[in-house]
């Protein structure tokens, strides 16, 4: 039976026939050790993981079996199946598939990692958002957390491996796309850290029970800095404080106040997060002061690509589901039988009707 989720043949056609990565990319430069066989093996395994592990956890609205995160007594609980998925996903190295071995990555070409993400997102985008945001945050920490920060090595090891998770804390109540209107503040401390106070809303994967710690990049304005986007800085704010050995310490005054119900991604906890409600939230400056916006967009541009891939992935799965249904749904006579006015002609699968085929071809071409 053909897959209803992944068109591996088409993915390989794009990679090897259209983009010709075996000639343009593989065996050259940083990809000297990669060839078509290695990439095909990775794609085959990713397809199996997508179909056998991720797809069965997709929300089943037809049979009323929703898969959703819940919020009770200040605690977020993810769907039970996600715990196993997270473990398998991280153990397989998918979180840092295209990152360099120096940070624990596999070093694959980004286009191979994108092809795998295409398959994963087709099968359960709500789950894939958890590692997707973690990867974006990890790359941000790698590039902009100062090298003299004694916690940087720990953060990179923990986030790139998936032992800890990450987010992006940008949006605030009353200041959605108008980021410059944010109210979250940062106050300098004598030890070089900053005290963070404020509320962020609609934070995807903002809180959960998949990992013991979550590291948040948080946009805030240092006291005295100018209004608008030019006065915004960005900070690394852990949910749980930790030391240079990676040992977890006391909570960092980061509280989840609520989770939203977003269509199609109920399994992902979209949170309201309160920082410094008890004035005990500590953050670490990333990059330079008042450089929060350009630093933030390094991650957000990656997430924008991820959202675009999500649309393409869901379209692929929608087409494959429609194709399977058209082959099975019996209704109406074949057009030739209708032209011959054969009243005894049997009903046929709707894929034999020209207009249905036209619609399917349009879906596939898009």
In this structure, what CATH number is given to the domain that contains residue 237?
2.40.110.20
- Whole-model pTM? 0.93
- When pLDDT is averaged across residues 212-240 and rounded to a whole number, the result is 97
Q: Does residue 360 carry a pLDDT above 90?
A: yes
With respect to residue 215, please indicate whether it lies within any of the assigned structural domains: yes
Let me know: does 232 contact 224? Beta carbons within 8 Å: no
Q: Does residue 61 carry a pLDDT above 70?
A: no
- When pLDDT is averaged across residues 112-137 and rounded to a whole number, the result is 96
How much is the pLDDT for 64? 56
Tokens found for residue 155? 């953060």
Could you read off the pLDDT of 258-307 as tens digits, one per residue? Answer: 999 888 899 999 999 999 999 999 999 999 999 999 999 999 999 999 99
How much is the pLDDT for 276? 98
Q: How far apart are CA 211 and CA 89, in angstroms?
A: 13
Q: Does residue 15 carry a pLDDT above 60?
A: yes
How much is the pLDDT for 268? 95
Closest of 286, 6, 312 to residue 146, by C-alpha: 286
According to the 3-state scheme, what is the secondary structure of 255-272?
Answer: EEEEEECCCCCCCCCEEE
Residues 182 and 282 in one domain: yes
Residues 70 and 174 in one domain: no
How much is the pLDDT for 337? 80
- When pLDDT is averaged across residues 35-58 and rounded to a whole number, the result is 96
CATH number for the domain that contains residue 95:
1.10.540.10
Residues 279 and 310 in one domain: no
Residues 132 and 18 in one domain: yes
Least confident of 4-18, 117-131, 336-350: 336-350
Closest of 130, 155, 161 to residue 142, by C-alpha: 155
With respect to residue 2, please indicate whether it lies within any of the assigned structural domains: no
Q: How far apart are CA 12 and CA 318, in angstroms?
A: 19
How much is the pLDDT for 343? 82
- Computed over every residue of the chain, the mean pLDDT equals 94
- When pLDDT is averaged across residues 87-92 and rounded to a whole number, the result is 97
Residues 133 and 18 in one domain: yes
With respect to residue 168, please indicate whether it lies within any of the assigned structural domains: yes
How much is the pLDDT for 67? 82
With respect to residue 159, please indicate whether it lies within any of the assigned structural domains: no
In order of 66, 192, 194, 286, the CA distances from 185 in angstroms are: 38, 16, 9, 15
Residue 60: pLDDT band by 50, 70, 90 thresholds? Answer: low
Residue 131: pLDDT band by 50, 70, 90 thresholds? Answer: very high
Residues 231 and 124 in one domain: no
Residues 262 and 170 in one domain: yes
Residue 139: pLDDT band by 50, 70, 90 thresholds? Answer: very high
Residues 69 and 194 in one domain: no
Could you read off the pLDDT of 169-198 as tens digits, one per residue? Answer: 999 998 878 888 899 999 999 999 999 999
How much is the pLDDT for 353? 95
Tell me if residue 53 falls in helix, strand or coil. Answer: helix
Residues 100 and 200 in one domain: no
How much is the pLDDT for 275? 98
Q: Cα-flanking dihedrals φ and ψ of residue 99, to 5°?
A: -90, 160
Task: Provide long-range contacts, Cβ within 8 A and 24+ apart, for 144-153.
Answer: 144/234, 144/286, 144/287, 144/295, 144/298, 145/236, 145/284, 145/286, 146/285, 146/286, 149/284, 150/244, 151/236, 151/242, 151/243, 151/244, 151/284, 153/244
How much is the pLDDT for 270? 96
With respect to residue 155, please indicate whether it lies within any of the assigned structural domains: no
Q: Percent of the chain beyond pLDDT 90?
A: 87
Q: Does residue 1 carry a pLDDT above 70?
A: no
With respect to residue 178, please indicate whether it lies within any of the assigned structural domains: yes
Q: Does residue 65 carry a pLDDT above 90?
A: no
With respect to residue 151, please indicate whether it lies within any of the assigned structural domains: no
Q: Does residue 151 carry a pLDDT above 60?
A: yes
The domain total for the chain is 3
Residues 235 and 308 in one domain: no
Q: Does residue 245 carry a pLDDT above 80?
A: yes
In order of 40, 90, 101, 142, 360, the CA distances from 87 in angstroms are: 23, 5, 20, 23, 37
How much is the pLDDT for 4? 92
Q: Which domain holds residue 115?
A: 8-145+301-318
With respect to residue 272, please indicate whether it lies within any of the assigned structural domains: yes
Q: Does residue 133 carry a pLDDT above 90?
A: yes
Q: How far apart are CA 270 and CA 209, in angstroms?
A: 13
Beta strand 232-238 with 214-222 is antiparallel
Q: How far apart are CA 66 and CA 134, in angstroms?
A: 24
Residues 37 and 139 in one domain: yes
Q: How far apart are CA 90 and CA 129, in angstroms?
A: 13
Let me know: does 253 contact 72? Beta carbons within 8 Å: no
Q: How far apart are CA 34 and CA 41, in angstroms?
A: 11
How much is the pLDDT for 63? 52
Residues 141 and 192 in one domain: no
Beta strand 214-222 with 165-166 is parallel
């Amino acid at each position: 039976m053909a897959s209803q989720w992944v068109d591996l043949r088409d993915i390989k056609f794009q990679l090897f026939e259209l983009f010709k990565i075996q000639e343009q990319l593989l065996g050259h430069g940083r990809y000297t050790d990669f060839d078509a066989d290695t990439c095909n093996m990775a794609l085959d395994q990713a397809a199996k993981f997508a179909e056998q592990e991720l797809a069965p956890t997709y929300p089943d609205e037809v049979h009323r079996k929703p898969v959703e995160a819940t919020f009770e007594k200040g605690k977020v609980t993810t769907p039970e199946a996600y715990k196993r998925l997270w473990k398998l996903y991280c153990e397989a190295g998918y979180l840092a598939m295209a990152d360099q071995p120096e940070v624990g990555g596999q070093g694959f070409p980004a286009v191979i990692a994108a092809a795998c993400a295409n398959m994963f997102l087709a099968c359960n985008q709500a789950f894939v958002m958890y590692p997707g945001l973690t990867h974006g945050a990890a790359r941000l920490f790698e590039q902009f957390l100062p090298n003299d920060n004694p916690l940087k090595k720990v953060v990179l090891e923990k986030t790139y491996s998936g032992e800890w998770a990450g987010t992006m804390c940008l949006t605030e109540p009353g200041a959605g796309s108008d980021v410059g209107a944010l109210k979250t503040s940062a106050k300098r401390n004598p030890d070089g850290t900053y005290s963070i106070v404020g509320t962020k809303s609609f934070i995807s994967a903002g809180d959960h029970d998949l990992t013991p710690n979550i590291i948040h990049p948080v946009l805030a304005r240092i006291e005295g800095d100018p209004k608008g986007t030019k006065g915004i800085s960005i900070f690394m704010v852990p949910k749980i404080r930790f030391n240079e050995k990676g040992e977890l310490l006391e909570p960092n005054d980061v509280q989840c106040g609520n989770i939203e119900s977003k269509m199609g991604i109920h399994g992902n906890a979209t949170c309201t997060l309160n920082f410094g409600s008890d004035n005990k939230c500590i953050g670490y400056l990333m990059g330079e002061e008042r450089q929060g916006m350009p630093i933030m967009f390094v991650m957000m541009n990656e997430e924008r690509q991820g959202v675009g891939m999500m649309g393409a992935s869901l379209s692929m799965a929608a087409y494959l589901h429609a194709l399977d249904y058209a082959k099975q749904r019996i209704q109406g006579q074949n057009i030739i039988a209708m032209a011959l006015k054969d009243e005894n002609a049997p009903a046929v699968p709707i894929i034999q009707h020209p207009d249905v085929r036209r619609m399917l071809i349009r879906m596939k071409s898009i």
